[in-house]
């Protein structure tokens, strides 16, 4: 079983069960690391209450022990002496990092909080108790020309990516250890393929693979692409109707779309947030929200990144990769069809481009 499948399987259990299982497995690993030659602590009896109730009773629990290095018998799990210390340490760190990434304070909600949360209107839910917006330096516009003014505004907006508290909050949400592990596996696979086929020109680094892993996690597990909202009244399909002018909707944003249900004809608001603290909560939107949040994730990883705003209503992220005394920019494109596609920033495009504002954050 692959690591991703294992963690997905383990994640189906209750939060309390997962926390306890990870705690027990981590303790087992720590005991082995402290005394690696002691074969007694390398044997776990299935009849042991803690092993049976806190690990084996969980979906994916036995698989965790196998991934750690144990081999299953009829009555026990035994770890061979040949199991490397490095593999034990690596899996323990991945498991703990994964647990911490999915059970932040925002995810552990009491029953009382859940009841109160259900009473909040959907468009207000994501903004409740959100960290205060990043305060940017006052912007004094120097130009009267509309085009130059837009440049000034865009250049000022990217300063939010350098807010240390915001970047730290974002990094806590990223399963860095897991992504680093997967990027190493991906790089080994590419190198293995290159050895078999000498004609392949493979010039990639671990960071290249890590960018791919971050993008995969972002679009598959973290962020949700929204074309039209699901009806908050009946769950039916909606279509964009008009922009709201209702002050009740215009909270933390000046742009709120109203989507009308094709079945019950009721309206569902879709706030178009630009504040990154809120986007880390809602985790949904189109290319604007997507690129804005993904650029923050790249800066949280301490990568050079820039937000590119194109005047024909498109926006994307470019990530700098310094290698061999040159800088390669990978364009991370978000659109209706690709929803996350990597390309070189200097590659040709068939569609026409308007003016582009490249707003650096390094």
By DSSP bridging, strand 76-78 and strand 224-225 are unpaired
Range in 229-238, 286-295, 348-357 the model is least confident about = 348-357
As a whole number, mean pLDDT of residues 252-268 equals 92
At residue 138, the pLDDT reads 67
Token pair of 217, please? Answer: 């996690």
pLDDT for res 279? 92
Question: Which pLDDT tens digit goes with each residue over 313-329?
Answer: 688 888 876 554 444 44
Contacts of 171 (CB under 8 A, 6+ apart): 300, 301
Lowest mean pLDDT among 2-16, 21-35, 38-52, 207-221: 2-16
Give residue limits of the domains in the chain: 3-99, 163-225+286-361, 227-277
Weakest-pLDDT range from 146-155, 252-261, 266-275, 333-342: 333-342
Of 54-58, 106-110, 119-123, highest mean pLDDT: 54-58
Q: What is the CATH number of domain 3-99?
A: 1.20.58.2190
Give residue-wise pLDDT tens across range 160-173: 898 899 999 999 99
The region of weakest confidence among 36-45, 115-124, 317-326 is: 115-124
The model scores a pTM over 0.75? no
CB atoms within 10 A of CB 122: 14
Which residues is 267 bridged to in the sheet?
Answer: 260
Q: Which CATH number fits domain 163-225+286-361: 3.30.70.1290, 3.40.50.2300, 3.10.620.30, 2.30.110.10?
A: 3.10.620.30
DSSP class of 127: T
In this structure, CATH architecture of domain 227-277: Single Sheet (2.20)
Q: At 104, is the pLDDT very low, low, confident or very high (cuts 50, 70, 90)?
A: low
Q: How far apart are CA 319 and CA 208, in angstroms?
A: 10
DSSP string, 211-235: HHHHHHHIIIII-EE-SSPPPTTT-
pLDDT for the residue 110: 40
Instruction: Tell me which of 136-140, 229-233, 238-242, 246-250 is least confident.
Output: 136-140
Question: pLDDT tens digits, residue range 4-19?
Answer: 788 888 888 888 889 8
Q: What is the pLDDT of residue 236?
A: 92
**Which residues, 6+ apart, have CB-to-CB distance to 77 below 8 Å?**
43, 44, 46, 51, 62, 65, 66, 70, 71
Q: Which residue has 């908050």 as its token pair? A: 232
DSSP 3-state of 332: strand
Structure tokens at 243: 């922009």
């Amino acid at each position: 079983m692959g690591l991703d499948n294992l963690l997905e399987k383990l994640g189906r259990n209750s939060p309390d069960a997962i926390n306890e299982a990870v705690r027990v497995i981590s303790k087992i690993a720590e005991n082995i690391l402290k005394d690696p030659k002691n074969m007694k602590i390398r044997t776990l009896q299935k009849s042991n209450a803690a092993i049976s109730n806190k690990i084996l009773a969980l979906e994916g629990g036995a698989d965790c022990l196998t991934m750690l290095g144990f081999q299953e018998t009829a009555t026990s799990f035994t770890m061979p002496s040949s199991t490397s210390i490095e593999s034990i340490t690596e899996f323990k760190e991945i498991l703990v990092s994964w647990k911490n990434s999915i059970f932040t304070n925002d995810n552990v909600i009491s029953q009382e909080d859940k009841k109160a949360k259900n009473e909040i209107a959907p468009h207000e839910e994501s903004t409740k108790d959100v960290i205060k917006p990043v305060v940017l330096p006052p912007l004094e516009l120097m130009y009267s020309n509309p085009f130059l003014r837009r440049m000034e505004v865009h250049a000022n907006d990217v300063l939010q990516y350098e807010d240390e508290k915001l970047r730290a909050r974002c990094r806590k949400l990223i399963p860095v250890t897991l992504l680093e592990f997967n990027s190493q596996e991906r790089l080994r696979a590419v190198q293995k393929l290159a050895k078999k086929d000498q004609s392949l020109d493979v010039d990639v680094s671990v960071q290249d693979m890590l960018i791919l892993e971050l993008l995969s996690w972002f679009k598959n597990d973290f962020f949700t692409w929204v074309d039209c909202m699901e009806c908050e009244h009946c769950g039916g399909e909606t279509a964009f109707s008009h922009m709201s002018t209702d002050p009740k909707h215009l909270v933390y944003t000046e742009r709120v779309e109203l989507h009308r249900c094709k079945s019950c004809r009721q309206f569902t608001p879709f706030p178009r947030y630009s504040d990154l603290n809120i986007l880390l909560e809602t985790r949904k939107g189109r290319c604007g929200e997507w690129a804005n949040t993904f650029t923050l994730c790249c800066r949280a990883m301490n990568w050079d990144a820039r937000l590119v705003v194109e005047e024909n209503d498109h926006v994307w992220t470019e990530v700098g990769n310094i290698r061999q005394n040159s800088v390669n920019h990978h364009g991370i494109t978000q659109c209706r069809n690709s929803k996350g596609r990597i390309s070189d920033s200097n590659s040709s495009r068939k569609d026409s481009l308007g003016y582009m504002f490249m707003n650096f954050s390094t």
